[in-house]
């Protein structure tokens, strides 16, 4: 690290990073009359030899955040957007290798999917999918890579095959035991690849599709005695079926469906009418790890 101009006094600059957050880039690829769309929200975070800018205001090492924004748009043209992960790898490599002062780059990407509206209109009309947001985070330090992919906002519901009973009780417990309840959640998942740069990188799009499928199938196929148990089954399915994934973290809000009390109206309610409560919600979170590997996905997924 270069000699710095730290002012006198007890204060020392600690962790610092900078970049341009939430670059909304839409790339249209025109294949004759059939167009393709990639819609990303890209955040760039850089760190390195940045003491001077904080201590003295010397900007000599600072690649402007405006430049990082421009790079995102220029790379969308120059290299296209094959997958969120591949785009993140291009960007991270560029920042770390082209600027001596920049030692690490973290590229976070959210991807929004679009469906075609018919085909008779020439393939240029789209409707945004109301489904999940895809996530990718690429971290590069000049030597190795860490890629974490994920999905959020994927709402799922089982209308049976869920029970919750036998739990600890104290003087404040009022929850009735449930032997046939609705189990609903919004899947927020992040999974980390074992790939750190050597050999062939995974096929990011195929891997995403398969992890998503296993998560949904495990949710649907698990006879559940708690959302915790369902969570573990979902994570374990991915670790068991996808060799390229070393770790998966799941954050599952329990979207409670309470049986509506219809007795004031002289009506029975045999598991038919529910009040879908939006808050408060139980929040069940855990990491499922491949045996022998170290956990590296942050506990709090909200900023990932
Ligand atoms: O699946 C559940 N897990 C809990 O920990 C819990 N707590 C609760 O009130 N309902 C539920 N449901």
**What is the whole-number distance in angstroms between the Cα of residue 178 and the centre of ligand 1?**
10
Residues 61 and 134 in one domain: yes
Phi and psi angles of residue 28, each rounded to the nearest 5 degrees, phi first: -105, 130
pLDDT attached to residue 4: 64
Domain assignment present for 302:
no
Nearest residue by C-alpha to atom 12 in ligand 1: 226
pLDDT band at 129 (very low <50, low <70, confident <90, very high): confident
ipTM comes to 0.99
Instruction: Answer yes or no: is the C-beta of 282 below 6 A from any ligand 1 atom.
Output: yes
Measure CA 217 to chain center.
Answer: 19
* In the block, residue with structure tokens 């018919």: 118
Indicate whether 11 belongs to any domain: no
The whole-number pLDDT of residue 105 equals: 98
Residue 7: CB atoms within 10 A of its CB come to 8
Ligand 1 atom nearest the C-alpha of 162 is 1
**Is the pLDDT reported for residue 2 higher than 50?**
no
Output the pLDDT for position 152: 96
pLDDT in tens, 138-185: 999 999 999 999 999 999 999 999 999 999 999 999 999 999 999 999
Q: Average pLDDT, whole number, for the chain?
A: 95
State percent of the chain over pLDDT 70. Answer: 98
Catalytic-labelled residue, pool 35, 36, 65, 67: 65
Task: Please check whether residue 215 is in contact with residue 170, taking contact to mean a CB–CB distance below 8 angstroms.
Answer: no
Residue 123: CB within 6 Å of ligand 1? no
Q: How many CB atoms lie within 10 A of CB 245?
A: 24
Contact 191, 207 (CB under 8 A): no
CA distance 221 to 161: 9
Alpha carbons 244 and 88: distance in angstroms, whole number = 18
Q: What pLDDT shows up at residue 168?
A: 97
Same domain? 68 vs 102: yes
Torsion sign across C-alpha atoms 118, 119, 123, 124: negative
Yes or no: say if 6 and 58 are a contact pair by the CB < 8 Å rule: no
Give the pair of three-digit tokens for residue 7: 């002012």
Number of H-type helices and E-type strands within the chain: 5, 12
How many CB atoms are located within 10 Å of the residue 6 CB? 14
Asked if residue 156 and residue 276 are part of one domain, the reply reads yes
Confirm or reject: Cβ of 224 under 6 Å from ligand 1: no
Does residue 160 sit in the same domain as residue 274?
yes
pLDDT of residue 141: 98
pLDDT of residue 263: 97
| 65 noted as active-site residue | yes
Distance CA 248, CA 253 (A): 16
Whichever domain contains 122, its CATH number is 3.10.270.10
Q: Is residue 88 part of a domain?
A: yes
pLDDT at 68 (0 to 100): 98
Counting ligand 1 atoms within 8 A of each CB, the residue from 163, 164, 175, 228 with the most, and so the one to mutate, is 164
Which of 238, 235, 185, 184 lies closest to 211 in space, CA to CA? 238
Could you read off the pLDDT of 86-103 as tens digits, one per residue? 999 999 999 999 999 999
Q: How confident is the model at residue 3 (pLDDT cuts 50, 70, 90)?
A: low
232 in the same domain as 183 = yes
Q: What would the pLDDT profile of 244-290 be if each residue is shown by its tens digit?
A: 999 999 999 999 999 999 999 999 999 999 999 999 999 999 999 99
By mean pLDDT, which of 28-32, 120-124, 206-210 is the weakest?
A: 120-124
Domain range for 180 is 150-296
Residue of the nearest CA to atom 8 in ligand 1?
A: 282
**Eight-class DSSP state of 291:** T
Give the pLDDT band (50/70/90) at residue 122. low
* Residue 212 is assigned to a structural domain of this protein: yes
pTM: 0.92
Q: Which two structure tokens, joined as six digits, stand for 211?
A: 């992890």
| Residue with CA closest to ligand 1 atom 7 | 282
Residue from 158, 162, 166, 167 whose mutation best tests the ligand 1 pocket (most atoms within 8 A of CB) = 167
As a whole number, mean pLDDT of residues 41-65 equals: 97
Residue written as token pair 């490599």: 93
Q: Name the least confident of 113-117, 129-133, 185-189.
A: 129-133
Residue 117: pLDDT band by 50, 70, 90 thresholds? confident
Domain shared by 161 and 183, yes or no: yes
Which of 85, 116, 143 represents a domain boundary (last residue)? 143
Please count the structural domains in the chain: 2
Q: From the candidates 69, 90, 256, 257, give the one annotated as an active-site residue.
A: 256
* Six-digit token string for 111: 């991807």
């Amino acid at each position: 690290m270069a000699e710095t101009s730290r002012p006198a006094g007890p204060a020392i600059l600690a962790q610092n990073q900078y970049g341009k957050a939430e670059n909304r880039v839409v790339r249209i690829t025109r294949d004759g009359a059939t167009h393709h769309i990639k819609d990303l929200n890209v955040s760039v975070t850089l760190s390195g030899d940045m003491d001077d800018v904080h201590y003295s205001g010397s900007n000599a090492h600072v690649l402007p955040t405006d430049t990082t924004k421009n790079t995102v748009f220029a790379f969308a043209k120059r290299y296209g957007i094959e997958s969120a992960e591949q785009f993140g790898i291009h960007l991270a490599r560029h920042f770390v290798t082209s600027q001596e002062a920049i030692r690490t780059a973290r590229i976070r990407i959210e991807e929004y999917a679009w469906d075609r509206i018919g085909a008779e209109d020439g393939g240029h009309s789209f409707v945004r999918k109301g489904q999940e947001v895809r996530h990718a985070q690429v971290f590069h330090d000049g030597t190795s890579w860490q890629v974490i992919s994920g999905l959020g906002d994927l709402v799922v519901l089982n209308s049976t095959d869920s029970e919750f009973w036998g739990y600890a009780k104290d003087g404040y417990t009022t929850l009735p035991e449930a032997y046939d309840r609705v189990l609903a959640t919004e899947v927020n998942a992040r999974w980390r690849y074992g790939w750190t740069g050597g050999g062939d990188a995974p096929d990011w799009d195929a891997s995403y599709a398969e992890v998503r499928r296993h998560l949904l199938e495990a949710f649907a196929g698990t006879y559940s005695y708690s959302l915790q148990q369902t969570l573990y089954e979902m994570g374990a399915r991915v670790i068991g079926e996808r060799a390229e994934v070393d770790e998966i973290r799941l954050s599952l809000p329990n979207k409670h469906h309470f049986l509506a009390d219809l007795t004031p109206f002289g009506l029975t309610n045999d598991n038919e009418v529910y009040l879908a409560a939006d808050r408060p919600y139980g929040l069940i979170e855990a990491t499922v790890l491949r045996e022998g590997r170290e956990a590296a996905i942050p506990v709090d997924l909200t900023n990932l």
